[in-house]
Chains A and B, each alone.
Chain A
Amino acid sequence: MTLAVFFGCAFIAFGPSFALFVFTIAKDPLRVIILIAGAFFWLLSLLLSSLVWFIAIKASNSQDLTLQRGLLIFGVFFSVLLQEVFRFAYYRLLRKATEGLAAISDDDGSAISVRQMAYVAGLGFGIMSGAFSMINILSDSLGPGTVGIFGDSQYYFITAALMTLALTLLHTFWGVVFFEGCEKSRWWVIAAVVSLHLLVAGLSLLNPLYEGSLPPVYVITLATGVWAFFSSGGSLHSLSALCTRRKAEGESS
């Protein structure tokens, strides 16, 4: 549907994650490596889960539409579980790596904390997940037509972009919370993350009833964001400190 939609949706979906990358990750090579490795782990999980789904599809009757829909739902939930398994696996890998990193670093202690690794890993998951959700749709948005001739909603592109944005942010927050839960051995946290992920995936299956999927997902995103903020050591005090420091900086300059 022309360049305006293409750029609009691309920036909606990838703008925040790109900005996060530029401002918080790009300068530190170690963070970049962890980001890319995280993306790769997500990719692996997608590959395996899609393999399972693909085999299931080919082995089944392609004319039975309810069966195909059922297989799709199964595929989605299986993929969610596999992604969380790979998130855990990545956590274990990074734990192992911290010891090695501590050994080779100049000053005492590791160059990067587990909390930072959690954030970077989550962002890696989010960026790759967003890319796979959105790239296919973006390439089709370049043409002159928009979705709708078969009765689909004409807001298809923008809702896809918004959903991708939400998912990217959610992966980031889940990364933070998940790693924190693993560190403190709070298994209920991990269960909560997995259930939230399953919930969001389930809500996305409500599409094209966008009123049923987007607002709840954004509410969950906000809630998870707050949870991640408090889980990684933020507090109301630090928030107010942020504002006063800003005021102080403003006054002094």
Chain B
Amino acid sequence: MLKGLMFLCVLCSSVEQKIYVVLNETVPCVRLLNATHQIGCQSSISGDTGVLHVLETESDLDWILSSGPHPPYMVIMETAFFNRSVMMRMKNSSRVAGVAVIISKTGLADNFSPHTTCPNQNTGVYSESYGSDLANCNGTVWNPLGNGLSYEDFSFPVFALKDENQTQVLRKCYEDHNQRVNGSAPQYPLCAMQLFSHMHAVTDTVTCMRRTDLQNRFSINPEVLCDPLSDFNVWTSTRPLNNSAKGHAADESVVIAATRLDGRSFFWEQAPAAEGTVSGIVTLLATIQALYPVTQEAPPPRNIFFSFFQGEAFDYIGSSKMVYDMEKNDFVIDMNNVHSMLEIGQVGLRSGRSLWMHSDPVSRQNKSVDTEVSEEEGKLSLFSHPLPPSSFQRFLRARRIPGLVLADHNTSFTNRYYESMYDDAENLNVTYPPGLTPDEQLVYETDAAKSLAEVATLVARSLYLQAGGEEKNLNNITADPKIVNISVFLTASFYIGLGPRVHGPAHSVTRFVQYILANLTGTVTNLTESQCQNPSELSTENKDLFSYFWVSGPASVNGTREPFCVRASVRLSKAVSPAFELLEYGSRNYSTWTESRWKSIRARIFLVASRELEVMQPALVELTETKQKNISAKTEIMFIK
């Protein structure tokens, strides 16, 4: 394979192409900062170089950490060794230049969660002053399999190797040059790898934002060092809400149905989050699809407000922002409008047909709240468990409203790969028969789809009842498993991403959910494109109550598309932590997560020569130089003018 690459290059006069093999697919681990800490990985500014060594057995670990003669090493880590103990040993060693982790299913342990054991423990509702015996997971440890790797600070780069072909190139280079023969050390030249992922931000968000402010104020060419994590929440309602009327909405009593829209993993922009997030999104979308027509025909007394919160993995960015806006009277409704809340947590791995409803025992000590909750959950009481990590906790922090969180787990997560790269379709047991085209997969009813459709039906009916609807309409509310097309979500990445998207397009998943909602709940109008973009000019259209989308439409038989205008009450609301609006970068109450900036992230492999060869060359120079001086001084004598 390498020889082939060489022949492609026979006319390149560049020596550089003889030396380096650039790895195209790089998946780095980047640095994130909060009010007090930095987490993630860092490389030196001119890259970290190390001799390759594949970590497959315990003796390899000894070789790397103590006995190998060519430190520092660049470790190619087999999947089985990517755990806390090995990574901590690497962290404490000075002989490790960097790590490249092979991401594959072979050798994968039974569980792997790089998240903490108690997600979002400091920004939830339980604290010293509220349910102190339940705070910090004293009551229930939600993620006992969590090893906390995502929250460690590594001073060397860690990359992921997802592309099988690229991993093969690395293995081949290792086998050709670095393999130990009969237990003796390999000879030079050795195969080495250099990883570049230098991060600009250090210490914590406070420091980074202070330095950024200084740059912005005093530098001609300001360098921003980090950006707050931000994106958009998506919300809609069964009865349109006036978007320009902020604060308390008169005569509105709202039932909130919510789920989260994001996920994360150890590596940057990799978050398949199938059980953690996709299950919730798909269920809520199916709920909306089931509920919406009935709420238009037989509207219940209360409004139902559906919300997808972004950034929940990072101390509840989206939900804290919405609550903050509600309290500041900067949102279409406020906390007085909220009647109750139903949140969909991780619902994908139900064993059998069980579904658990979690409520907050502290707020249920209040009689009125308790009555509401008991009505909600139909007389199933779970008194002693705290709420799992959920957006509902942020609402509770502001006001003791009745609410439930639905989940497929009772005490700790059933998700064994919570917030990791392995929380994918396979984790959700979504499998398609072989030979299906992507279009066929889209409408195929998997077992997971059927299970989620059941949950969606239950949620939709509960919401209808909560909103005061009549029981006789309940049979019309059923979620269709065919609509529950998970496959399109299972290839996406749910990492929240950064600020510059605030002005421009939102994260692709956010946009996607927004458009699906518009499809499910909107009506087609016959407006032209310019009218669709400026609907306020028309008296029949109301920009305050609806948003208008110009969509390209389905592809017809001969490939043309007929675009049209859709009117829907779907909106985006900014999801950036209130800490950044209040300029309290060291806030304890709100999320303060930022992502560092960097210049270049890349990787390359090459051969390195021995020190002896390097030193030999200046010695040769000395030899030639001394001879030279002797001769040149005597030219006059030797030659006739």
A9-B617, A15-B628, A145-B20 known; A241-B639 Cβ under 8 A: no
Contact between chains at B607 and A24 (CB < 8 Å): no
Contact among A146, A156, A233 with B606 in the assembled complex (CB-CB below 8 Å): A146
A7-B618, A145-B19, A145-B607 known; A15-B625 Cβ under 8 A: yes
Q: Report A168 CB to chain B, min CB distance, Å.
A: 12
The residue of chain A having its C-beta at the shortest distance from the C-beta of B2 within the complex is A150
Contact between chains at B189 and A146 (CB < 8 Å): yes
The residue of chain B having its C-beta at the shortest distance from the C-beta of A17 within the complex is B628
Please choose the segment from A34-42, A81-89, A135-143 that sits at the chain B interface, where 4 or more of its residues have CB less than 8 A away. A135-143
A145-B19, A150-B2 known; A16-B618 Cβ under 8 A: no
Contact between chains at B21 and A241 (CB < 8 Å): no
Contact between chains at B6 and A151 (CB < 8 Å): yes
Q: Quick one: CB contact mask for A78-119 with B, threshold 8 Å, 1 for yes?
A: 000000000000000000000000000000000001011000
Expressed in whole angstroms, the Cα–Cα distance for A127 and B395 within the complex equals 78
Contact among B173, B189, B614 with A2 in the assembled complex (CB-CB below 8 Å): B614
Contact between chains at B635 and A1 (CB < 8 Å): no
B10 interfacial contact with A, CB 8 Å: yes
Contact among B2, B11, B620, B638 with A242 in the assembled complex (CB-CB below 8 Å): B638
Contact between chains at B621 and A144 (CB < 8 Å): no
B540 interfacial contact with A, CB 8 Å: no
Contact between chains at B617 and A145 (CB < 8 Å): no
Which B residues from 600 to 641 make CB contacts under 8 A with A? 604-609, 613-618, 620-621, 624-625, 628-629, 632-635, 637-641
Contact between chains at A62 and B607 (CB < 8 Å): no
Contact between chains at A144 and B15 (CB < 8 Å): no
Expressed in whole angstroms, the Cα–Cα distance for A136 and B13 within the complex equals 9
Expressed in whole angstroms, the Cα–Cα distance for A170 and B615 within the complex equals 28
Expressed in whole angstroms, the Cα–Cα distance for A11 and B619 within the complex equals 10
Contact between chains at A150 and B5 (CB < 8 Å): yes
Q: For B608, what are the chain A residues with a Cβ–Cβ distance below 8 Å?
A: 1, 144-146
Contact between chains at A154 and B607 (CB < 8 Å): yes
A247 interfacial contact with B, CB 8 Å: no
Number of contacts between A and B (CB, 8 Å)? 148
Expressed in whole angstroms, the Cα–Cα distance for A106 and B533 within the complex equals 89
Expressed in whole angstroms, the Cα–Cα distance for A241 and B634 within the complex equals 11
Contact between chains at A1 and B638 (CB < 8 Å): no
Q: Report B454 CB to chain A, min CB distance, Å.
A: 56
Contact between chains at A242 and B606 (CB < 8 Å): no
A5 interfacial contact with B, CB 8 Å: yes
Q: Report A10 CB to chain B, min CB distance, Å.
A: 9
Q: For B620, what are the chain A residues with a Cβ–Cβ distance below 8 Å?
A: 8, 12, 158
Contact between chains at B607 and A137 (CB < 8 Å): no
A15-B624, A144-B194, A146-B609 known; A8-B3 Cβ under 8 A: no
Expressed in whole angstroms, the Cα–Cα distance for A158 and B189 within the complex equals 15
Contact between chains at A149 and B19 (CB < 8 Å): yes
Contact between chains at B15 and A8 (CB < 8 Å): no
Which A residues from 221 to 239 make CB contacts under 8 A with B? 229, 232-234, 238-239
A182 interfacial contact with B, CB 8 Å: no
Total interface residues on A, using CB and 8 Å? 52
Q: Quick one: CB contact mask for A143-176 with B, threshold 8 Å, 1 for yes?
A: 1111111111010111001000100000000000
Q: Report B439 CB to chain A, min CB distance, Å.
A: 38
Contact between chains at A140 and B19 (CB < 8 Å): yes
B18 interfacial contact with A, CB 8 Å: yes
B49 interfacial contact with A, CB 8 Å: yes
Q: Report B145 CB to chain A, min CB distance, Å.
A: 39
Q: Report B6 CB to chain A, min CB distance, Å.
A: 4
Expressed in whole angstroms, the Cα–Cα distance for A140 and B47 within the complex equals 16
A12-B620, A15-B621, A19-B625 known; A147-B15 Cβ under 8 A: yes
B191, B614, B641 — most chain A CB neighbours (10 Å): B614
Q: For A161, what are the chain B residues with a Cβ–Cβ distance below 8 Å?
A: 617
Which range holds the interface residue count of chain B?
A: 35 or more
Q: Quick one: CB contact mask for B14-45 with A, threshold 8 Å, 1 for yes?
A: 11101111000000000000000000000000
Q: For B617, what are the chain A residues with a Cβ–Cβ distance below 8 Å?
A: 4-5, 7-9, 12, 157-158, 161
Q: For A65, what are the chain B residues with a Cβ–Cβ distance below 8 Å?
A: 7, 10
Contact between chains at A149 and B637 (CB < 8 Å): no
A220 interfacial contact with B, CB 8 Å: no
Q: For B605, what are the chain A residues with a Cβ–Cβ distance below 8 Å?
A: 149
The residue of chain A having its C-beta at the shortest distance from the C-beta of B640 within the complex is A233
Q: Report B71 CB to chain A, min CB distance, Å.
A: 15
A57 interfacial contact with B, CB 8 Å: yes
Q: For B11, what are the chain A residues with a Cβ–Cβ distance below 8 Å?
A: 57, 62, 68
Contact among B49, B192, B604, B639 with A234 in the assembled complex (CB-CB below 8 Å): B639
A8-B618, A143-B19, A233-B640 known; A149-B624 Cβ under 8 A: no
A20 interfacial contact with B, CB 8 Å: yes
A23 interfacial contact with B, CB 8 Å: yes
Contact among A20, A68, A238 with B10 in the assembled complex (CB-CB below 8 Å): A68
Q: For A148, what are the chain B residues with a Cβ–Cβ distance below 8 Å?
A: 19, 189, 607, 609
Q: For B634, what are the chain A residues with a Cβ–Cβ distance below 8 Å?
A: 242, 246
Q: Report B24 CB to chain A, min CB distance, Å.
A: 16
Contact between chains at A149 and B621 (CB < 8 Å): no
Expressed in whole angstroms, the Cα–Cα distance for A145 and B605 within the complex equals 8
Q: For B13, what are the chain A residues with a Cβ–Cβ distance below 8 Å?
A: 136
The residue of chain A having its C-beta at the shortest distance from the C-beta of B634 within the complex is A242
Q: Report A233 CB to chain B, min CB distance, Å.
A: 4
Q: For A239, what are the chain B residues with a Cβ–Cβ distance below 8 Å?
A: 638
A146-B606, A242-B637, A242-B638 known; A140-B15 Cβ under 8 A: yes
A245 interfacial contact with B, CB 8 Å: yes
Expressed in whole angstroms, the Cα–Cα distance for A150 and B607 within the complex equals 10
The residue of chain A having its C-beta at the shortest distance from the C-beta of B16 within the complex is A140
Q: For A245, what are the chain B residues with a Cβ–Cβ distance below 8 Å?
A: 637
Contact among B49, B607, B628, B640 with A149 in the assembled complex (CB-CB below 8 Å): B607
List, sorted by A's number, 24 A–B pairs whose CB atoms are closer than 8 Å.
Answer: A1-B608, A4-B614, A4-B618, A12-B617, A15-B621, A24-B632, A68-B10, A116-B641, A136-B14, A140-B14, A140-B15, A144-B47, A145-B194, A145-B606, A149-B20, A150-B2, A150-B5, A150-B18, A151-B6, A154-B607, A158-B617, A158-B620, A229-B638, A242-B638
Name the 8 nearest CB pairs between A and B, nearest first. A8-B617, A145-B606, A11-B621, A23-B632, A233-B640, A148-B607, A4-B614, A150-B6
Identify the A interface with B (CB < 8 A). Answer: 1-2, 4-5, 7-9, 11-12, 15-16, 19-20, 23-24, 57, 62, 65, 68-69, 113, 115-116, 136-137, 140, 143-152, 154, 156-158, 161, 165, 229, 232-234, 238-239, 241-242, 245-246
Identify the B interface with A (CB < 8 A). Answer: 2-3, 5-7, 10-11, 13-16, 18-21, 47, 49, 173, 189, 191-192, 194, 604-609, 613-618, 620-621, 624-625, 628-629, 632-635, 637-641
Besides A11-B624, A144-B47, 9 other A-B contacts (C-beta < 8 A): A1-B614, A5-B609, A7-B621, A11-B621, A12-B620, A136-B15, A145-B20, A145-B604, A158-B617
